[in-house]
Structure 1
Amino acid sequence: MEMEITKFNIDAPRWDQSTFVGRLKHFFNITDPRTALVSEQELDSAKQLVDSCRAGSVPPGTSTEQLHYAKKLYDSAFHPDTGDKMNLIGRMSFQVPGGMAITGCMLQFYRTVPAVVFWQWVNQSFNALVNYTNRNAASPITLTQIGVAYVTATSTALATAVGLNLYTKKAPPLVARWVPFAAVAAANCVNIPMMRQQEIINGIAVTDENDNKLGHSKKAAIKGISQVVISRIAMATPGMILLPILMERLESFAFMKKIRFLHAPLQVMLAGGFLLFMVPVACSLFPQRCSMSVSSLEPELRESIVNQYGDNIRYVYFNKGL
């Protein structure tokens, strides 16, 4: 047992990341909202154990399960590129408690312009922090660029939400309930690329399968960011499309009309139910370690790789972020 622990590769995926099911198990593990309640001391201890395991000096008596749990805490709270502890609100493990409160309120308070403006602003502030926290950390971004990204995405969300809110005044009630989703989808298409613009401008580091750095690619950055945008929209879609239909039906019942004060808490809880499953599902749509064929890279980088390695390298790999 001691020999097994000594040789334990803590960075090897516990589940096959080339399959959707394997990725789903992985993200159910690290997006577990319960890890958001773990103390800072326990997180630091988990990091220490992970670092010890990487160095080949696992404390005597440590079990495999303890190592797996330490890696779960580490993956949920520390950035994969830098190893730095991420802020609590920006962690994927906080997506369910944070997202359920905001989504529920957006879907409940959609009738008046002030309410739409306030909750879209809250949502974009939350998204901006999540996007910044989970960016590819090898591409630094300035405070000015963060500010521009935040203002642009918030303006897009507000313009979409307020514009559609006014446009759907005479539309069926259900159509008006879908306005928050349209605003969220539109804002994601702006917020994520803007927050990660440095990756598009300067490219992101690409490596071979053994993590040897080969250069920087803008095309890889565009592919990774596009996949993140799709994942974030997919994360919100079931809850923000199906929940309004469910609430529309529920609110037609007499007992629901008597407990209007509970409608908002009910929407928050139902939104949480959707997100509990959709956060890991959406994160699993594409591999975290993204790949791209050398033939699809920029001509300069492609020529550099071919000149140095010939045909030995056919694919490059990079962290797409979350």
Structure 2
Amino acid sequence: MCFVFLFFFLESMATELSLNINIKEPRWDQSTFVGRAKHFFTVTDPRNLLLSSRTLEDARRVIEDYRMGKASPGLTEDQLWRAKYIYDSAFHPDTGEKMILIGRMSAQVPMNMTITGCMLTFYRTTPAVLFWQWVNQSFNAIVNYTNRSGDAPITVNQLGTAYISATTGAVVTALGLKSLTKHLPPIIGRYVPFAAVAAANCINIPLMRQRELKFGIPITDENGNRLGESKKAAQQAIVQVVISRIGMAAPAMAIPPVIMNALEKRAFLKRYPMMNAPLQVGLVGLCLVFATPLCCALFPQNSSMRVSRLEPEIQAQIREKNPGVEVVYFNKGL
């Protein structure tokens, strides 16, 4: 009888969830590209958009309880990580606020496949170029605001300036290149939307995050202790995000035009021209399913910088109060 009691006691102890799991960090090693890719395949999973408010709040409760040293009875490690990724998919990492639905990373694939597919399909007329570039930059403005780094507010004027500047830049680039490619092979004209998107990213992201460039973003030591705000860190973060965003768009805007250019010469699309847009959107979606998480994984989310590369006044502040710190960390945004 004692042996039976001991067996069940040991079994219950074995299944009790440890409170030492570091859920501040992703489940996979973020120092490697593969680990970051696994993380972002989970973060950008479009199925997260279908989760109910109750599911999101349950995940928040599980994570907040666990951070305070409490684990729900019967909670397993897999369930804990699932709750973390549900929480991360909907709540901002710095502010903790629930993010706008279409601004979440899980909305990237369905939203971008629709917008990009239409940009690549309806690129021949000026009104179509104007409309889809406006739609794309409106979406980008929401994404950039939702996934901004740090906890600093963005004013309405800053939002408006970034939005208008990026939309103008994208439209001018698209229309300018469109006029230059009139006498070139049709395949060249298909790449005009990509050039416009790349130009807009270079304008939109820095402008949307101009407050970070002016005042800096929070920097911490390896244990998460806040050390101050750095403009140099903000500059590095924004450059990395711009590169990732352009890389994210490249496959979806470079591969489908080649395929569609060949398909449009076939009898099927000549007979059923209405299938052009659905095929284009589908091809773009296929590219984005892989390009989105892989390009998000190009740089660590919790980026780092040596203290010696920070502003002189920040260096002096850190060396005075935290002389042992050689590297600082910051959330680069997405």
Q: What is the alpha-carbon root mean square deviation over aligned residues?
A: 1.1
- Confirm whether residue 31 of structure 1 aligns to residue 31 of structure 2: no
| Mapped pair 1:259 → 2:272 | yes
**Superposition pairs for residues 72-111 of structure 1, below 5 Å?**
72-111=85-124
CA contact (8 A) 1:5 1:63 kept: no
Question: How many Å separate the matches in 2 of 1:68 and 1:208?
Answer: 24
1:110–1:177: 8 Å Cα contact kept in structure 2? Answer: yes
Measure, in 2, the Cα distance between the counterparts of 1:200 and 1:7. Answer: 36
| Structure 2 gap segments, 5+ residues each | 1-13
Match of 1:274 in 2: 287
Match of 2:329 among 297, 317, 320: 317
- Is 2:206 the counterpart of 1:193? yes
Q: Please tell me whether Structure 1 or Structure 2 has the larger radius of gyration of its CA atoms.
A: 2
Contact 1:8 1:53 in 2 (8 A): no
Report the Cα distance in structure 1 between the residues aligned to 2:121 and 2:321, rounded to whole angstroms. Answer: 58
Structure 2 CA distance for aligned equivalents of residues 318 and 7 of structure 1:
23
Q: CA deviation at 1:141?
A: 1.1
Per the TM alignment, residue 2 of structure 1 is displaced from its structure 2 partner at its CA by 4.6
Report the alpha carbon displacement of residue 127 of structure 1 after superposing the two structures with TM: 0.3
1:10, CA displacement in angstroms?
A: 2.6
User: Which of 180, 183, 190 is 1:177 aligned to?
Assistant: 190
Q: d(CA) in 2 for partners of 1:260 and 1:241?
A: 21
Does structure 1 retain, via aligned residues, the 8 Å contact 2:91–2:98? yes
Runs of 4+ in 1 over 4 A off after TM superposition: none
Q: CA–CA distance in 1 between the matches of 2:295 and 2:19?
A: 35
Cα drift, residue 137 of structure 1: 3.6
Match of 1:127 among 129, 134, 140: 140
Give the aligned residue type for 1:112.
Answer: T
Distance in 1 between residues matched to 2:115 and 2:325, nearest whole Å: 45
Q: 2:149 maps to which residue? A: 136
Q: What whole-Å deviation, never above 9, does each CA across 1:283-311 have from its counterpart, x for those lacking one? A: 1000000100011111111122122333x
TM-score by length of 2: 0.94
Q: Which runs of 5+ in 1 are unaligned?
A: none
Relative to structure 1, is the Cα distance of residues 8 and 2 closer, same or farther in structure 2, using a 3 angstrom cutoff? farther
Taking the aligned partners of 1:59 and 1:141, their CA distance within structure 2 comes to: 37
The Cα offsets for residues 171-229 of structure 1, whole Å up to 9 and x where unpaired, read as: 11011000000000000000000000000000111111111111111110000000000
- Identify which of 20, 35, 57 aligns with 1:44: 57
